[in-house]
Structure 1
Amino acid sequence: MTTFKDSKSQDKLSIAEILETLSDGMLPLRFTAYDGSTAGPEDADYGLHLKSTRGTTYLATAPGDLGMARAYVSGDLEAEGVHPGDPYEILRIMGDELHLKRPSALTLASITRSLGWDLLRPIAPPPQEHLPRWRRVAEGLRHSKTRDAEVIHHHYDVSNTFYEYVLGPSMTYTCAAYDNAEQTLEEAQENKYRLVFEKLGLQKGDRLLDIGCGWGSMVRYAARRGVKVIGVTLSREQADWAQKAIEDEGLADLAQVRFSDYRDVAETGFDAVSSIGLTEHIGVGNYPAYFEFLKGKLREGGRLLNHCITRPDNRSSAKAGGFIDRYVFPDGELTGSGRIISEIQNVGLEVRHEENLREHYALTLAGWCQNLVDNWDACVAEVGEGTARVWGLYMAGSRLGFERNVVQLHQVLAVKLGPKGEAHVPLRPWWKA
C-alpha cells in the first residue's frame, strides 16, 4: 500500500502512486522515491529507488527504455538488490512481471498536474548519450565512411584498459562458442576462433582477410597457425592495441591490423574472409554492396564466414531501440538471418551452412557482466561510473534479450563457386561442432 511523508496535497499523486496507477498496482518489486512515497511488496528481494527530481524528468520526458536509461546512468535511479555491473535480475523481473499501461487522457492530466510543468521540461541527457539520429547529419550521411568512423569511435574508443577488465584476456567482443555451460569465457572464446578457422578450412600459407577485426584476436589465432592475415578496424585504439599484440607475439611477418575502413582494402585473392560482429554496423540497405565487396576479395573456392547478431524474424524494423542507438551502437541495424542469407545468395555466393548461437551469447554476456562486477572499482576509475553503468545495463539487458529470443546470433558460411559450380568443399561438415 502506498504511504506518504510530507505530502502537502491529497489532490496530487505521489511518485509511487503514479507508478501504481500506470501498473494497475501490480508491482513485482519494491519502489521508493525522494518524496517519501513507496509502493510494492515490502519484502521484495529487489527494488528501485528514484533519488531526485532530475530522474523524474528523465522518466517523464522519454518514456520507455531511453528515459529509464538516462535516470539509471545518471545515478538518479538506483537498482537495489543487484550490483550496478550486472542488473540482470531486476531487468528480468521488470521484463517478465512489470506491465505498464498507456494512461487515459484523464489519468495523464492528473499525472501532469501532480508532477508540475517544471518536471516535464526536457533537460540535457547524461554525457554518455550520443546525438539522436536526426542530428548526426553533421557527421555525414548514414553509413558513410566518416559517419561510420565517428559512431565506431563512440563505442569502441572508450578505453582499451576498460575493455581488458570487461572482456578478459582474449580481448574478444563477440559471442563465444560453448561446448557446455561449465566452460570458462576464455575457453569458449578460443573455441569460437577454432570453429571459425575450421569452417573456413584455413591451412598454413593461406591468406585471410578479417574485417571489423577488433583487437585482432582472430588475426592472431590464424597467424599462430601459419596463415597470412590482414585485419581492419575503424577504431584507432583497437588497431594500435592489436598491432602491438601482434608484434609482442612475434607474428609481424604473418599478420597486420590496419586502422582502416574495410572498403579501402585493395588486396584481392584471399582464401577466406571472416566478418565477426561487423554486419550489425553496415546498414541493411548496404548489404548488397557489402557482400558484393566481400565476394570480390575472394578467390574461386574461397569462403566467407559472416557472424552477427540478428532479429528472430525478417519483418521487424532494422533500427535499434532508443537506449541501444543513443548509448551503445549508434546507427546499428539488425535484420533476420533469412535476409542475410538471401543477400549473400543474391551476389552469387553459395551458402553451405548456417547456425544459431543465441544461447551462447547469453552465456558470453553473463561472463562479461561478471568481469565488470569483479573489476568494478577499477572500471569506474578508468571510465567513470556513468559509463560503467551503461555497460552493466547494456550487457545485462542484452543477455535477457538473447535468452528471450528477442535477438539471435547467426554464423553463415558461404563459398565463391568456380565457373562450373565447383565449391571445393567436403561433402559433409568438416569441422568439430
Structure 2
Amino acid sequence: MTLARVFERLAGAEAPVEFTAYDGSRAGVPGADIRFHVRSPHAVSYLVHSPGALGLARAYVSGMIDVSGDMYTALSTMQRVLGDVTPRDKLKVVAAVLGDPLLRAAVTRRLDPPPQEAPFSRVPSWLRHSKRRDAKAISHHYDVSNTFYEWVLGPSMAYTCACYPEENSTLEEAQFHKHDLVAKKIGLRPGMRLLDVGCGWGGMVMHAAKEYGVKALGVTLSKQQAEWAQKAIADRGLSDLAEVRHMDYRDVAEEGFDAVSSIGLTEHIGKANLPGYFSFLYGKLKPGGRMLNHTITRPDNLAPPMKQAGFINRYVFPDGELEGPGYIQSQMNDAGFEIRHQENLREHYARTLKGWCDNLDDHWDEAVEEVGDGIARVWKVYMAGCILGFEQNWIQLHQTLGVKLDENNNAHMPLRPDWGV
C-alpha cells in the first residue's frame, strides 16, 4: 500500500490538501494551498511508536515530513479532516502498511528522538523544580539565540501575551499596552521600587523605568536574556533606574518593594511550589503593595494536567505545569494576598502568536541559518499549534491582581479600577 493510499484512508480522498511521498504516490487536491510531503519511510516509525501528535511532531522536526503553506492553516485543516479517526482506524492502517517491505522495515525500527527534544524525565512534580533543574529547563528554551528572538518577537522583545487595545493594533502597540496595563494595575508612580520576576529581556523593567520613573529590578534564569537586557538598558540611558540580573528569583535578597510583577513565570514554578512562590513574593512587598500575576492557565482543574510526555514539555517548556485560574487565585489568596481583579486575555494570546508566526515566516531563511532547521521547525509548529489552543479554549491567559493589606487592613486601592481597558 502506498503512503498516499494510507493518507486517503485516514483523511478521505477529497481532503483539501495535497499529499505527496518519497515513493511518488499522491493524494488529495493537486495545487492545494497546503501540501504535506513525506521524505522518508522512517517518518512512519515516528508516527507508529510515538503517542498522539508527538510522532507527527518528531517527523516534522527531524525533516522527514515537510509542510508547505501556512502552518496554522495546515494544523487546523488536519485537525478537521482527521478529527473522526479512531485508534482502531489507525491500527487498520498500520496493519496495511506492514504489507510493504520498505515500510515494514522502517516501522519495526524504533528511532531515537530528534536532538532538539529535551530528555523526558519521570521525576515527580514535587522534585522537579530545584534551582539547578529550573535553570537547565529555562536555558533549553531561552538560551537559543537573542538574534533569533529579535526576529520572532520584534522590537519589544516581549515573549508573553500582548494586550490589543484596538482591533487594528500592531503587535508592538499591543506589547506596549500590555506593559502599561500591568504598570497601571500595580499602581506604579515615580520613586517606587518594582521587582519583576522572570523578567525575560527586561521589557517590563525598562517600561517601568522609562514611562513611570520607577526603580526596577528584574531577574531571569537565562544568561543570554540578562546580557541582552543589561545592554539594552545601558543603550537607552536607563541604568540609574533599571537592572536585570541573571539569578533565581528565590535568591533575591532585597525586600520592601512597592510592587511585584510576574509575567509568564508561574508556568515554570510547578504546582507543588506555588504556595512557597506566592508566599515569597508576598514577603517582598511593603504593606499596601500590589502584585500582578500574568500566566497561562488551563480552563479548569477537572481535566488531567498537561502531559509531561507531550510535545510542549519535550520541545518547548520542560517541566512546565499549568493550573486553572481558580487554583492560582486560591494559592495567592492563601499566601496572604487580597484578590482585587482578574481577567482572561485568551483571545489576545492567539493574536500575539499570530504576530510571532508572521515574524518567523518573514525571517525564515535567516532563522534557519541562525539556529538550525530543527529548532526553527519546533518554533513554527509550536506557535501555530498554540494559536489553536487559545482559540479553542484548551488554554487561557489570566492576569490576577493581589494586594498586601496594611496593618489596618487597608488595601490602598481605588474604589473602582482606574487602569482603563
TM-score range, shorter chain: over 0.9
Q: Paired residue for 2:185?
A: 199
**Are residues 1:176 and 2:162 paired?**
yes
% identity of equivalent residues: 57
**Are residues 1:103 and 2:88 paired?**
yes
1:106 and 1:258, CA in 2 relative to 1: closer, same or farther beyond 3 A?
Answer: closer
Q: Paired residue for 1:148?
A: 134
Residues in 2 aligned to 1:235 and 1:294: alpha-carbon distance in whole angstroms: 20
| Contact kept in structure 1, 2:11 and 2:81, CA below 8 Å | no
Q: Mean alpha-carbon deviation: is it higher for 146-155 or for 313-322?
A: 313-322
Residues in 2 aligned to 1:51 and 1:129: alpha-carbon distance in whole angstroms: 20
| Contact kept in structure 2, 1:242 and 1:257, CA below 8 Å | yes
Alignment of 1:115-194 (within 5 A): 115-134=103-122, 141-194=127-180
Pairwise CA distance, 1:39: 2.7
Q: Paired residue for 1:223?
A: 209
Aligned AA (2:214) = V
Residues in 2 aligned to 1:382 and 1:47: alpha-carbon distance in whole angstroms: 26
Number of residues of Structure 1 aligned to a counterpart in Structure 2: 415
Residues in 2 aligned to 1:431 and 1:221: alpha-carbon distance in whole angstroms: 16
Pairwise CA distance, 1:113: 4.2
Calculate the aligned-residue CA RMSD, in Å: 2.0
In the TM superposition, what whole-angstrom CA distance separates every residue of 1:378-429 from its partner, at most 9, and x where no partner exists?
1111111111111111111111111111111110000011233211101000
Q: Mean alpha-carbon deviation: is it higher for 173-182 or for 88-97?
A: 88-97
Q: Mean alpha-carbon deviation: is it higher for 366-375 or for 229-238?
A: 366-375
**Are residues 1:312 and 2:312 paired?**
no
**Are residues 1:90 and 2:74 paired?**
yes
**Are residues 1:27 and 2:15 paired?**
yes
Structure 2 portions without partners, runs of 5+: none
Secondary structure in structure 2 of the residue aligned to 1:64: coil
Aligned AA (2:117) = E
Residues in 2 aligned to 1:96 and 1:180: alpha-carbon distance in whole angstroms: 30
**Are residues 1:255 and 2:242 paired?**
yes
Q: Paired residue for 1:282?
A: 269
Residues in 1 aligned to 2:151 and 2:167: alpha-carbon distance in whole angstroms: 22
Pairwise CA distance, 1:47: 2.5
**Are residues 1:210 and 2:196 paired?**
yes
Q: Paired residue for 1:273?
A: 260
| Contact kept in structure 2, 1:26 and 1:98, CA below 8 Å | no
Query: When the two structures are superposed, what TM-score results if normalisation uses the length of structure 2?
Result: 0.94
1:193 and 1:71, CA in 2 relative to 1: closer, same or farther beyond 3 A?
Answer: same
Q: 2:367 aligns with which of 365, 376, 379?
A: 379
Structure 1 portions without partners, runs of 5+: 1-12
Residues in 1 aligned to 2:398 and 2:123: alpha-carbon distance in whole angstroms: 32
Aligned AA (2:302) = R
Secondary structure in structure 1 of the residue aligned to 2:88: coil
Pairwise CA distance, 1:103: 2.1
Secondary structure in structure 2 of the residue aligned to 1:133: coil
Pairwise CA distance, 1:120: 2.7
Query: When the two structures are superposed, what TM-score results if normalisation uses the length of structure 1?
Result: 0.91
